[in-house]
């Protein structure tokens, strides 16, 4: 249905939402006397806002554990875990200010998936290593984020969203002016904004977030499960898997290893690992062990991924000191 065929209340609502958020509206719906508008299912409507980061020509780093690193390179994929596994119990705190969604945060966290990282110059600082990991996976995003479906990318925002009280006021005003109609905020569109908010106390993280929110929060055809024991959660854990970039270089070394499959799918992010850097904050791993494993690991990576991934020669100096045993 074209906009001119909608009730006048919808036309006004559409214009006011666009003015408030400074973004175009991609769709609208009507169910009885309930009207709703929504943003795009990917990054397109957000591309000129502060809730989109263009990754072109940027270098990113993800800090993880040794176990996390080898899980990623052995599987050839990254995992986006749902917010039940976040170390921040107040994720989605802003959504409570949206009418009709005041008490939904805990119920929708299982269907909101994230992967956290940062720009390399931010993440490769000693204080980040002391908090977040022992290994840096450095990477690029090599496909067009405007083609992604249901995946979003943005810098995180810290503190309350300026849009929440303004949107709540707009919904109240619309209902007063068009009392036969109800105006329903689109949950997925709100998550496309508010899942990029954390409380002010986290601002030193300088996080970039990859976000996946499935259509109508239905993830049964995309979600996988494993069993985890961690500080955040113990038990069955849901995640979304994204295959990593795989090249087609003819590699003779370690020929018995099977290359990860090349998957061409521009509807989801394509991440290319450029290098791996180990830190000195693991007491069971030192410069000698790095030297001994580096060449074998180089060959393994080249065989599995079909191109050269650099393994840095030196341990990153985190400033962490270990007490001598005895």
pTM over 0.85: yes
- pLDDT per residue over 167-198, tens digit each? 999 999 999 999 989 999 999 999 999 999 99
Cα–Cα distances in Å, from 112 out to 92, 239, 266, 296?
A: 10, 10, 21, 38
Q: What whole-number distance in Å separates Cα of residue 39 and Cα of residue 207? A: 23
Using alpha carbons, select from 200, 197, 18, 207 the residue that is nearest to residue 115: 207
Q: Please report the pLDDT score of residue 262 as a whole number.
A: 96
Q: What whole-number distance in Å separates Cα of residue 7 and Cα of residue 183? A: 13
Would you put residue 206 in left (φ > 0), alpha (ψ -120 to 50) or beta? Answer: left
Q: What whole-number distance in Å separates Cα of residue 2 and Cα of residue 19? A: 19
b/e sequence 201-232, b meaning 16+ C-beta within 10 Å: ebeebbbbbbbbbbeeeebeebbeeeeeeeee
Q: Please report the pLDDT score of residue 84 as a whole number.
A: 92
Q: What whole-number distance in Å separates Cα of residue 319 and Cα of residue 316? A: 9
| Pairing verdict, β 271-278 and 310-311 | parallel
Q: What are phi and psi of 39, to 5 degrees?
A: -90, 175
- pLDDT per residue over 264-292, tens digit each? 999 999 999 999 999 999 888 999 999 99
DSSP states of 87-128: S-TTTTGGGGGSTT-TT-HHHHGGG-EEEEEEEHHHHSSHHH
Low-confidence ranges of the chain (pLDDT < 50): 1, 324-326
- pLDDT per residue over 34-65, tens digit each? 999 999 999 999 999 999 999 999 999 999 99
Q: What whole-number distance in Å separates Cα of residue 151 and Cα of residue 7? A: 32
Q: Please report the pLDDT score of residue 134 as a whole number.
A: 95
Dihedral sign for Cα atoms in the order 25, 28, 158, 120? negative
Q: Please report the pLDDT score of residue 322 as a whole number.
A: 59
Q: What whole-number distance in Å separates Cα of residue 272 and Cα of residue 265? A: 14
Q: Please report the pLDDT score of residue 1 as a whole number.
A: 46
Cα–Cα distances in Å, from 254 out to 78, 257, 313?
A: 23, 6, 21
Q: Please report the pLDDT score of residue 324 as a whole number.
A: 46
Q: Please report the pLDDT score of residue 229 as a whole number.
A: 78
Which tokens sit at 194? 């508010």
């Amino acid at each position: 249905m074209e906009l001119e065929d909608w009730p006048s209340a919808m036309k006004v609502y559409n214009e006011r939402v666009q003015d408030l958020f400074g973004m175009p509206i991609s769709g609208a719906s009507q169910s009885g006397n309930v009207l709703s508008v929504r943003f795009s299912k990917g990054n397109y409507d957000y591309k000129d806002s502060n809730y989109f980061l263009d990754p072109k020509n940027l270098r990113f780093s993800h800090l993880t554990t040794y176990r996390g690193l080898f899980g990623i390179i052995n599987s050839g994929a990254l995992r986006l875990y749902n917010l039940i596994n976040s170390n921040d119990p107040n994720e989605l705190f802003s959504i409570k200010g949206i009418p009709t969604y005041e008490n939904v945060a805990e119920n929708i966290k299982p269907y909101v998936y994230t992967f956290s990282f940062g720009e390399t110059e931010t993440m490769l600082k000693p204080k980040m290593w002391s908090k977040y990991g022992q290994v840096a996976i450095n990477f690029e995003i090599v496909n067009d984020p405007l083609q992604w479906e249901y995946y979003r990318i943005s810098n995180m925002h810290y503190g309350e969203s300026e849009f929440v009280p303004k949107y709540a006021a707009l919904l109240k005003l619309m209902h007063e002016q068009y009392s036969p109609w109800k105006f329903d905020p689109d949950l997925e569109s709100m998550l496309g904004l508010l899942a990029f908010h954390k409380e002010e106390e986290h601002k030193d993280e300088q996080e970039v977030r990859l976000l996946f929110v499935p259509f109508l929060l239905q993830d049964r055809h995309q979600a996988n499960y494993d069993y985890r024991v961690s500080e955040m959660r113990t038990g069955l854990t849901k995640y979304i898997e994204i295959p990593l970039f795989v090249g087609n270089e003819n590699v003779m070394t370690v020929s018995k290893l099977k290359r990860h499959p090349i998957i061409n799918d521009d509807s989801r992010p394509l991440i290319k690992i450029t290098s791996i850097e180990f830190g000195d904050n693991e007491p069971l791993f030192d410069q000698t062990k790095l030297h001994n494993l580096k060449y074998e690991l180089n060959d393994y990576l080249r065989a599995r991924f079909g191109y050269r991934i650099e393994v840095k020669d030196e341990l990153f100096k985190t400033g962490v000191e270990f007490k001598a045993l005895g």
